[in-house]
Each structure stands twice: as C-alpha cells, then as structure tokens.
Amino acid sequence: MKKGRAFSLLSGGLDSLLATRLIMDQGIEVVALHFITPFFGYQKKGQEARYQERWKRLYGVQARIIDVGDEYLRVVRSPRYGYGRNFNPCIDCKVFLFSRARELMEEEKRDFLISGEVLGQRPMSQRRDAMRIVERDSGTEGVLLRPLCAQHLKPTRAETEGLVDRDKLLAITGRGRKPQMELAEKMGIRHYPTPAGGCLLTDPELADRFRKIFQQSPLITVEDILFLQVGRHFRLSGGQHLVVGRREEENKRLMELFREGDTLLRVQGIPGPLGLLRGPAEEKDLRLASSVLARYSKAKDQEKAEVQYGNKRDEFSGRIRVSPAGEEEISSLRF
Ligand code: SF4
C-alpha cells in the first residue's frame, strides 16, 4: 500500500484524536491542525509550543495550532445555515474550518483530510445531510475522510486510491461513547484530552452576550469577544460597558484587558471586585458604575461606600461616595 500524507482536524476532544491515530496507525504521516478562535481553544494562544509538546508526549500526535479568530468573527456574524440552540453556527463553522484545512492541504500538497466526526452524534452538524453540505461548501468532497464512521459513508479518494485500507476503518454511529472508550483503551490512551472550556458559543449566558454585541455593533474585534468573557457585564445608558470582576483572577484579567480611555474602579479600603468602565464617562456614569460595583463588594449593606477610580492601571486618583445599587437597578443594567 502507498504511503500518504494527511492533515487531520483536531478539535481537542477524544474523537478527533482517535480518528487521527487510526490513520497514523495505517502508516500515514498526519499533522493535526488545531484551529483556535476567541470562542474555542484561545487559552492556547501564546502557549503553542507547550501544547504541541504535550500532544506529542501524551498521544504521539504532531499538532499545529492556527489562530483564525479574525476571519471567524465574520462566520459568527452571518451564518448561512443559522445558529444552533445558542449562538453556535455549527454548520458554517465546519464549512469555514474545513475550507481552511483544504486550502492548507492544497498548499502543502497533502493527500487528504481527516475529521473525528461521528454520524448522528450531534443534532446540528453531524447529520448525514449536514455532513454533505459541509463537504460541498468547503470543497472537501472526496478528500474528507471520517475514519470513525467511514464504513457508513461513500468511500473517499484516499480509500479508492489505496492510501487507506477501508476495512480497518470503523462504523461508529450515534451519541454513545462506549466504542470510543474501548478504542482509546486499545490504543493505550488513558488520559483523555479535555477540550478545555469547550465552545463558548454554546454557553447560554455568554451566547446571549455575544448575540447582543453582534446585533449592536457593526465592527467586533477578537479583543471585544475576550472582554465579554470576563466578569459580570452591565450596559449604561450612554452605551458604556461596565464589567465587575467576580474573582481575584478576573480582577487580574480586567487589568490585562484595560486600555487607554477605560476607567478602573475599586471600593476603597475593602478588598473585593474591580470594575472596568469602557466608554466616555461623565460624573453621572461614574456614579452609577460605582454604585453597581459597591453592590458586589462587602460594602453592599452599608448606606454609603467610597469608590476610587482612575484612568491608569496603577493610579486611582478620583473618589466618589455612593449608595450601593438596588436589585432593580442592577437587573435593568445587566448585559
Ligand atoms: S460547537 Fe462551536 S466549535 Fe463546534 S461546530 Fe459548533 S460552533 Fe463550531
């Protein structure tokens, strides 16, 4: 049998790892492409070498991490096939990622692509008709091999041309996990990869925030999406955005996300949440932001709280005395 070279699409979960390994076991050289966007996989940004080393050490897989965040925002804004239960445009997402993989395959003269999809596993994107749409729209018909359920699908070029032995491919279908667990056991995979965080577009609370921001702003950046993932969010009447950290690590993250023009707020003398106000702020906005922040601090039952604010990361030069906001006010501002 001829040897080939392939790319696999590594989602970070078990199925794509198994699919990759099944094909590697047939003597094919596989590089696993792991696409990241601010909605999934982004914690690997800047840590690429560490993750690549980990996949190699734990699973013997050569991985490549590719940030497609900017382009992906366009997919999320107007998906041709709509959204799933939350803000997840699964079919368009796959069309986009598979198209990118196909382009790379052509550029680097690889023979075919591999995905870990299983027929009938997911309601939106892994139905037979959806799989066909994805192949057609991404230009991957005939070159996309799904080793875990290949025996239920038409043979691909890799199979008909003899690069891959179809008899060694599988016929898994449905939502059960047992066949995958057994296969992992057989392959000696004990530490299952966990796709940390999963896809945030399927998280009901975050999806709601993402939807609102896409509806309200014609221009969204990766940074905007990262910003929406931290803390409690409030929208003031002038369109300013207030974020209140819920934990120490979120306070730190807000410090990192701080940029020129933002205002930082903290309750004086009481350790607790940090507030970040984005957008031009007049005195009344600072007052409102301060009272919301005070509501989430240990001063929430006090009649008055003193809040410090400033426009630099390490300088809180202003002060304001406010009453902590009431529940009604809080819920009317929530974003
Ligand atoms: S769940 Fe998220 S990452 Fe997965 S296909 Fe849907 S949109 Fe894409």
- Rounded to the nearest angstrom, the distance between the alpha carbon of 202 and the centre of ligand 1 is 8
- pLDDT score recorded for residue 127: 85
Q: How many CB atoms lie within 10 A of CB 334?
A: 12
180 and 248 inside one domain? no
Closest residue by Cα to atom 3, ligand 1, is 199
Would you state the pLDDT for residue 120? 87
Domain limit, last residue, from 186, 202, 220: 186
Task: Name the 3-class secondary structure at 182.
Answer: helix
In DSSP terms, 115 is beta-bridged to 9
**What is the bridge-based pairing of β-strands 112-115 and 62-67?**
unpaired
Asked if residue 154 and residue 10 are part of one domain, the reply reads yes
Q: Do 61 and 151 share a domain, yes or no?
A: yes
Q: Which residue has the tokens 């989602």?
A: 11
> Does residue 268 form part of some domain?
yes
> Do residues 64 and 175 both lie within one domain?
yes
Ligand 1: does its nearest atom lie under 6 Å from the Cβ of 35?
Answer: no
For the chain, how far is it from start to end, CA to CA, in angstroms? 58
Distance from C-alpha of 116 to C-alpha of 83, rounded to nearest angstrom: 22
Output the tens digit of pLDDT for each of the chain's 335 residues.
Answer: 568 999 999 998 899 999 999 999 999 999 999 999 999 999 999 999 999 999 999 999 999 999 999 999 999 999 999 999 999 999 999 999 999 999 999 999 999 999 999 998 876 677 889 999 999 999 999 999 999 999 999 999 999 999 999 999 999 999 889 999 999 999 999 888 765 568 999 999 999 999 999 999 999 999 999 999 999 999 999 999 999 999 999 999 999 999 999 999 999 998 899 999 999 999 999 999 999 999 999 999 999 999 999 999 888 999 999 999 999 999 999 99
**Ligand 1 pocket member 96 (CB < 6 A):** no
Cβ of 94 less than 6 Å from ligand 1: yes
Cβ–ligand 1 distance for 88 under 6 Å, the answer yes
Q: Which residue, of 123, 151, 186, is where some domain finishes?
A: 186
Distance from C-alpha of 67 to C-alpha of 56, rounded to nearest angstrom? 20
- Among 36, 93, 115, residue to substitute to test ligand 1 (most atoms within 8 Å of Cβ): 93
Say yes or no: CB of residue 93 within 6 Å of ligand 1.
Answer: yes
List the domain range (segments joined by +) for residue 87.
Answer: 5-186
What pLDDT score was predicted for residue 12?
A: 84
Residue nearest to atom 6 of ligand 1 (CA): 90
Same domain, 264 and 177: no
Best of 10, 34, 40, 71 for a ligand 1 pocket test (most atoms within 8 Å of beta carbon): 40
Number of domains in the chain: 2
Strand 305-310: give its sheet, edge to edge.
232-235, 241-244, 274-278, 263-267, 305-310, 318-322
Query: Domain containing 25 — which CATH number?
Result: 3.40.50.620
153 and 242 inside one domain: no
Ligand 1 centroid to Cα of residue 214, in Å, is 17
**Do 161 and 235 share a domain, yes or no?**
no
Residue 1 confidence (pLDDT): 58
Q: Which protein residue has the closest C-alpha to ligand 1 atom 2?
A: 199
Q: Do residues 182 and 247 share a domain?
A: no
Distance 168 CA to ligand 1 centre (A): 28
- pLDDT for 191: 84
Enumerate residues 6+ apart whose C-beta is below 8 A from 53.
none
Domain assignment present for residue 113? The answer is yes
Residue 203 lies in a domain: no
Q: Is residue 133 part of a domain?
A: yes
Q: Do residue 98 and residue 236 come from a single domain?
A: no
